[in-house]
Structure 1
Amino acid sequence: MLNNTAHVLDNPVWNALISGNAPLAHGTAQVKYFAEDVSPFAGFETCTPQALEALHALVPAGRVLGIVSPVPLHIPAPWQLMQQMQVGQMVQERPAANNLLGPPATPLGPAHVPAMLALTQRTNPGPFFPNTIAFGHYEGIFEGNELVAMAGQRMNPSPYAEISAVCTHPDYLGRGYAARLIQRQAQRIVAAAGIPFLHVKADNTRAIRLYQHLGFVTRKEMSFHIIRKNPS
């Protein structure tokens, strides 16, 4: 059952792990997280020191996790706070005019994972691991045999679905590949009676302009906390 004390997207990881991403959830009734090879994110029914302590007991030493909150959090020891960043949470309020001409979009599967990892390591759109593809719906654009652009979905706090891993090889920027792939993902989400949303770093002005052009508006600024369970 979703936490109805706030908007679903104020606690997107938790609400994803108890609804659309429930098959990928690990943890307990109050603390849940994705497998390490899928995604770094963890969520809480309510983020309290006790919940963070419970998460600490569940995961192995050295595990790096992402905690998403509408406000900055105090991360207590024995967790190590590695980074805190402000990220815009954007929701599509109107579909953009179709811009789907150009090279075909290819569904991406397990055989494409090495190419997907290579592209994300070069472009750094956010965390992407060997089994992140388990979220599903990834598509890419190839030039010859090289994957040069891709996008997919990640958190699914029903009825919202997050467009993620949007990236383009630097040599192929400016061709509209990212816009086409985002539109395809958004249309897929809407066709399934969902609402597209995404997260973008607050200083990524190029991406923000693109998302605004595609009908996304900033709903709220969120705090992403990267924390680590120390090996000791």
Structure 2
Amino acid sequence: MGNRDAVALDDPVGESLRGHHAHLARRFGRAATYLPGVATFSAVTADPDPEEWADLARLLGPGEFADMFSCPATPPSDWEPVFVLEGRQMVWTGGSRPHDAEVDTGVIELGADSVPEMLDLVARAQPGPFRPRTHELGTFLGVRDNGTLVAMAGERLRPPGWTEISAVCTAPEARGRGHAARLVGALVARIVARGERPFLHVAETNTGAIALYERLGFETRKHVTFRGFRTP
């Protein structure tokens, strides 16, 4: 994979908000963020000046959460740090098609009518941020056991040529059955089929997930730091 092919992954939030997710964006000046209820991620340009940070502060409002995702730019000193999380960005390098053609067995698509169940699963499995309208970012797939949603995964950021796999989670009582691998495999197959490449982000401390993704054909592209702030 050439660096040119992956340059959009250096600013996945901004590239998504300017492109595939423009219909889900709010913007002021050069700053942008997602609509409330969709995602908390915000974006500024590669080398933002004080005016651009002021634009983002006006866009979000006073005392509001600014989730800067993997953006390395530092906001002004009156922005209060909320969290710092070390992680990595991984890209799928498994070739032209997923290894297991049967990964889709038992996997179902989840729509707006499944949101209450999805939010309940997220509350129990804690995969990371997921909101009532997050499912609008892309396709979400799930696995049911006796009618109960026990595992899911979906598409999130969409920089040009790429689709991020996210919200990979399994209910505590259903772990160890291969649900995550099947769901990620099914999403990889769909993403590759439409001519895009899968990528994902994972916390550095989540060694089990990193090992799973490596088995499924993902490799680390770069290490990133996720950061959140509160506006003045």
Is the structural similarity TM-score above 0.5?
A: yes
**Worse overlay, 103-112 or 33-42:** 103-112
What does 1:52-201 align with in structure 2 at a 5 Å threshold?
Answer: 52-69=53-70, 71=72, 73-95=73-95, 96-98=98-100, 100=102, 104-201=106-203
8 Å Cα contact 2:104-2:186 kept in structure 1:
no
1:211 to partner: Cα distance: 0.2
Report SS of the residue matched to 2:224: strand
Q: Deviations over 1:25-65 (max 9, x none)?
A: 11035211101211010111224242222100111334323
> In the alignment, which residue of structure 2 is the partner of 1:30?
30
Report SS of the residue matched to 1:69: coil
> Percent identity of the aligned residues?
36
- Number of residue pairs matched by the alignment: 225
**Worse overlay, 16-25 or 165-174:** 16-25
> In the alignment, which residue of structure 1 is the partner of 2:48?
48
One-letter identity of the residue aligned with 2:44: F
Supply the distance in 1 between the matched residues of 2:42 and 2:165 (Cα, whole angstroms). 18
Report SS of the residue matched to 2:68: strand
One-letter identity of the residue aligned with 2:173: D
> In the alignment, which residue of structure 1 is the partner of 2:17?
17
Q: CA RMSD in A?
A: 1.9
One-letter identity of the residue aligned with 1:90: M
Q: Deviations over 1:78-135 (max 9, x none)?
A: 3211011111000001155217368611111111111100111111111000111111
Supply the distance in 2 between the matched residues of 1:195 and 1:101 (Cα, whole angstroms). 17
1:183 to partner: Cα distance: 0.7
TM-score (norm 2): 0.90
**Worse overlay, 12-21 or 198-207:** 12-21
Determine if the alignment matches structure 1 residue 8 to structure 2 residue 8: yes
TM-score (norm 1): 0.90
8 Å Cα contact 1:103-1:141 kept in structure 2:
no
**Where does structure 1 lack aligned partners over 5 or more consecutive residues?**
none
